[in-house]
Amino acid sequence: MKIVVIQGPNLNMLGVREQQIYGPMKLEQIHAQMKEFADQNNVDIEFFQSNLEGEIVDKIQECFGDADGIIINAAAYTHTSIAIRDAISAVSLPTIEVHISNIHRREDFRKENMIAPVCTSSIIGFGPFSYHMAMIGMLQVMNEINAAKEARKLSAEAK
């Protein structure tokens, strides 16, 4: 199984920017923890960060046929990007949206979420631990998908 983790704008500044909201942990530290968990569970993991909307769209599209699932923190693009929403919808991969802060308790403009309706699930407001929860969630989603495939296979064989 391969999971691609896509990080949006300004997440490369974690540990520096607004620590009262995002905490002191750097993106590299979050990725190291995710990599350790992935290794423990025999999961291939790839990390990508961009401040550019088009590059994020390109990366989502590259996941089609190459990855089994996406974990995405679209950051500010969560609230504005129909292009990212459409890319997630187009690839039809299990996608878990992550936010470090609780976007629903912040500025009004952050309450608009363009991508949540096309994601499998959202994990919001648990700080950097949100990413660990997303990894656990993705494993569960993949187990359910594999179990459904196996059940269909057994049903077809029984006929």
Catalytic member of 77, 99, 104, 132: 99
CB distance 116 to 73 below 8 Å = no
Verify whether residue 31 is a known catalytic residue.
no
Q: Any catalytic annotation for residue 132?
A: no
- Beta carbons of 97 and 125 less than 8 angstroms apart: no
Phi-psi region of 23 (alpha: psi -120 to 50; beta: other; left: phi over 0): left
Q: Under 8 Å CB-to-CB from 16, ≥6 apart: which residues?
A: 26
Q: Is the dihedral of CA 61, 42, 142, 149 positive or negative?
A: positive
CA–chain centroid gap for 83, Å, is 16
Catalytic residues: 22, 99
